[in-house]
Chain A
């Protein structure tokens, strides 16, 4: 029997997002991708931060871990290095990943662990009720910026391209078939794969709705984009706000973290026998 999204769905509770939230699209796409990849739910870790989207693991039947605001990538890196044979997905929002957790994001890209990092980017802080986020446009108003956001937004795609990210992509929560494929490609890519997912917040952002993204997104892979050309990828990264290319901007094959080090050659660290470790050679080494 082929697996279905239901195989990845928790029997306990239902998502508590606002009706119409982009998180439903991301949830559905992730479960569909996992099913199509035929992943054993017991061999999947889904690790998130804190935020609306980061509540995701509650409604999955895989191993899930909801960590702290901004720390998902760090926790997931540790968990992945402990058991690198599992499929590890990291998920969170733009505040989580590009605000409080920005440092971990950048350094994870350098390290290139085999993780799939999905950021639901709705350009707003939802769970704390509508403040501007690191991806909010300059000038946009919110409860923390009643006279307009004084800062220009970060560019997550350009940031990833500039920091050795080996798989850089953008999806749209309202284009499910496209997002499912993107998540599958990201999972199958060896290394740190990053998907920035455009996602409407129907409660706090009346500008970037489904109609807005529907009209302005177009598929990079339908427009002769060369995913091995970093320079071309950079150009595409600076296209919004007029247009939003979605799809794979850039990917490269380079050794992943666990391949660089002999410690992992004997299989996942969780399987190493720790019952009879001999430290006498250490005593000898420090003897004279």
Chain B
């Protein structure tokens, strides 16, 4: 873990450490906890490294690099016995004391001033220190510094190299190697890449044929916009930083209506502004994908933290009743595949699709193996080719499955008026009783068709387990590691992770009937998934582990709570 003040650069050494671990062929998971400020306040970057895929973050640290005055005080007790703490005595007031960990006082500021002429380069000194403590060769770090600072000129590159080297040497000169951790390169590492959940979503969307993105920046969804913008010219995507979320969603719907795969991304507050337009997409039956990266509310809430308080919001937002789909991925890999799927669903069912995630996944990074994409196809549903448009074409024609044929502007013979007013099969507005009932029922029929075609929910793990964790979204990550922790204490647990929130994934009732003891785990106050399950599947799950602190669950937190609940 690396801790420092906002603006002092804990991101640079964090990324460097992650890249060096990847260079050694290791797997990673990294999350950042930070305050909603640009300068000052203690921020941390938690990085977990392993020879095997890392399921989650946790709050126990093997090695802490502190480059400010606060990290030591806040986190010294979270270091595991035998772990290490690197700190600069000149920055820390009071005594640094713990007998069961290794203390590595390093004058990082002084070294930085001497080598670079700038105290702020203490982070680079610190990363050199860490690599030495972990007994890893220095060359990859030096190469990385060249790459990272190349565009700032040779002088800056050389100074940073000196800083890193000085930190590295300081360890070799001042500490006997008594630290029991080491980075060992893997012999035959799997080829992998390192992204956050938002980037993974963008990559999945690009694979699905993403052509249009409009967004107004909002933490923690902004990296969707940044990532799409970065690759816009490579993949010919129109990416637009627009004036507000009203514009973002309305533009995206316009683009979807006109025939391209379009997406808007936001967090809860921006989603609230998009509400009316989501109903428009439902009414005119335009495909659009909305990514909602949750942070805790209400209102401005905790802008830089994580939560799962918006499930009911996205399920019900906008007046009236209309078909929509809400999906929520559990991991970085699932984020890629579900983003891809979201675009197929939007066009197949001609409705808004909301991909609901949270800051923990959206901004948290992980290594992924190069994902398989050969099986992914583009399904544009009932979008007609020009020669399939017949003379009696009606855009909103009745059909068994509720899905009408679709033409897009420019197609010969497909012209029609789409309107947010209630309308006839042709699209022409109406207020007459019988036609209104007919088209309303036809539209809603799509929900049945969608539900019928969703994959049934599966229980993951030991079918006879004593406990079943019922969760959604990225709670999947710490929950799956909690299951491993419980196993060590002799408690068998499995998991019911729900990925399709609306319509609720089929098979929830049947799955719960097989569970001995379901326990809900959610990052909100009201157990919103629990409410949905009670309403749709008729099972009111009594045991709940809820956390609305704005911090993601850790595996041991879930395991401890389950142990308390199951104590006989």
A-to-B contact residues, CB < 8 Å: 10, 12-13, 41-43, 45, 47, 50, 55, 57-58, 60-68, 70-71, 74-83, 85-86, 103-104, 106-107, 261-264, 266, 268-270, 272, 274-275, 277, 279-288
Q: Is there an interface contact between B231 and A74, defined as CB atoms closer than 8 Å?
A: no
Q: Is there an interface contact between B409 and A45, defined as CB atoms closer than 8 Å?
A: yes
Q: Is there an interface contact between B244 and A75, defined as CB atoms closer than 8 Å?
A: no
Using Cβ atoms and an 8 Å threshold, which residues of chain A touch B192?
A: 287
Q: Is there an interface contact between A283 and B211, defined as CB atoms closer than 8 Å?
A: no
Q: How many A-B residue pairs have CB under 8 A?
A: 207
Using Cβ atoms and an 8 Å threshold, which residues of chain B touch A79?
A: 254-255, 257-258, 409
Using Cβ atoms and an 8 Å threshold, which residues of chain B touch A75?
A: 250-251, 253-254, 257
14 contacts between A and B (CB under 8 A): A13-B428, A43-B410, A57-B419, A58-B428, A64-B415, A75-B250, A77-B254, A78-B250, A78-B255, A82-B211, A274-B378, A277-B235, A282-B193, A288-B22
CA distance A71 to B260 in the complex (A): 19
- The count of residues in chain B whose C-beta lies closer than 8 Å to any C-beta of chain A is 72
Q: Is there an interface contact between B212 and A269, defined as CB atoms closer than 8 Å?
A: yes
Q: Is there an interface contact between B426 and A12, defined as CB atoms closer than 8 Å?
A: yes
Q: Given known contacts A261-B238, A288-B19, is B251 in contact with A74 (CB within 8 Å)?
A: yes
Q: Is there an interface contact between B373 and A279, defined as CB atoms closer than 8 Å?
A: yes
Using Cβ atoms and an 8 Å threshold, which residues of chain A touch B211?
A: 82, 269-270, 272, 274
CA distance A270 to B237 in the complex (A): 11
Using Cβ atoms and an 8 Å threshold, which residues of chain A touch B260?
A: 82-83, 269-270, 272
- Closest A residue to B207 using CB positions: A279
Using Cβ atoms and an 8 Å threshold, which residues of chain A touch B371?
A: 283
Q: Is there an interface contact between A103 and B244, defined as CB atoms closer than 8 Å?
A: yes
Q: Does B209 contact A (CB under 8 A)?
A: yes
Q: Is there an interface contact between A58 and B429, defined as CB atoms closer than 8 Å?
A: yes
CA distance A66 to B199 in the complex (A): 34
Q: A65-B417, A81-B240, A280-B370 are in contact. List 20 more A-B contacts (CB 8 A).
A: A10-B417, A42-B413, A55-B429, A58-B429, A63-B414, A66-B418, A66-B421, A68-B277, A68-B420, A75-B257, A77-B247, A78-B257, A79-B409, A81-B212, A83-B409, A263-B238, A266-B236, A269-B236, A279-B207, A283-B368
Q: Is there an interface contact between B233 and A107, defined as CB atoms closer than 8 Å?
A: no
- Interface residues in B378-435 (C-beta closer than 8 Å to A): 378, 408-421, 426-429
Q: Given known contacts A104-B246, A277-B206, is B414 in contact with A66 (CB within 8 Å)?
A: no
CA distance A63 to B37 in the complex (A): 48
Using Cβ atoms and an 8 Å threshold, which residues of chain B touch A270?
A: 211, 258-260, 408, 410
Q: Does B121 contact A (CB under 8 A)?
A: no
Q: Is there an interface contact between A286 and B246, defined as CB atoms closer than 8 Å?
A: no
| CB 8 Å contact bits of B188-222 with A (1 = contact, 0 = none) | 00011111000100010011110110100000000
- Closest B residue to A63 using CB positions: B409
- Closest A residue to B249 using CB positions: A74
A83: contacting residue among B237, B259, B262, CB under 8 A: B259
Q: Is there an interface contact between B420 and A86, defined as CB atoms closer than 8 Å?
A: no
Q: Is there an interface contact between B262 and A82, defined as CB atoms closer than 8 Å?
A: yes
Using Cβ atoms and an 8 Å threshold, which residues of chain B touch A261?
A: 233, 238
CA distance A78 to B253 in the complex (A): 7
B250: contacting residue among A74, A266, A281, A283, CB under 8 A: A74
CA distance A279 to B276 in the complex (A): 34
A283: contacting residue among B23, B234, B256, B370, CB under 8 A: B370
Q: Does B146 contact A (CB under 8 A)?
A: no
Q: Is there an interface contact between A286 and B193, defined as CB atoms closer than 8 Å?
A: yes
Task: Give the top 6 A-B pairs by smallest Cβ distance, nearest first.
Answer: A274-B209, A78-B254, A78-B251, A74-B250, A82-B258, A75-B254
CA distance A225 to B160 in the complex (A): 63
Q: Given known contacts A68-B250, A263-B233, A288-B194, is B419 in contact with A58 (CB within 8 Å)?
A: yes
- Closest A residue to B235 using CB positions: A277
Among A42, A70, A85, A280, the one with the most B-chain Cβ atoms within 10 Å of its Cβ is A42
B322–chain A nearest beta-carbon distance, Å: 14
A261–chain B nearest beta-carbon distance, Å: 7
- Interface residues in B245-288 (C-beta closer than 8 Å to A): 246-247, 250-262, 276-277, 280, 284
Using Cβ atoms and an 8 Å threshold, which residues of chain A touch B409?
A: 45, 63, 79, 83, 86
CA distance A80 to B409 in the complex (A): 10
A170–chain B nearest beta-carbon distance, Å: 25
- Closest A residue to B279 using CB positions: A68
Q: Does B54 contact A (CB under 8 A)?
A: no
Q: Is there an interface contact between A107 and B243, defined as CB atoms closer than 8 Å?
A: yes
CA distance A29 to B493 in the complex (A): 71
CA distance A196 to B24 in the complex (A): 65
CA distance A21 to B247 in the complex (A): 31
B144–chain A nearest beta-carbon distance, Å: 8
Using Cβ atoms and an 8 Å threshold, which residues of chain A touch B408?
A: 83, 270
A281: contacting residue among B234, B412, B413, CB under 8 A: B234
CA distance A129 to B418 in the complex (A): 25
A63: contacting residue among B233, B255, B416, CB under 8 A: B416
Using Cβ atoms and an 8 Å threshold, which residues of chain B touch A41?
A: 415
Q: Does B232 contact A (CB under 8 A)?
A: yes
Using Cβ atoms and an 8 Å threshold, which residues of chain B touch A55?
A: 429
Q: Does B242 contact A (CB under 8 A)?
A: yes
B18–chain A nearest beta-carbon distance, Å: 8
CA distance A287 to B415 in the complex (A): 47
CA distance A202 to B297 in the complex (A): 48
Q: Given known contacts A286-B193, A288-B23, is B417 in contact with A58 (CB within 8 Å)?
A: yes
Using Cβ atoms and an 8 Å threshold, which residues of chain B touch A74?
A: 242, 246-247, 250-251, 254
Q: Is there an interface contact between A282 and B236, defined as CB atoms closer than 8 Å?
A: no
CA distance A191 to B534 in the complex (A): 54
CA distance A258 to B167 in the complex (A): 51
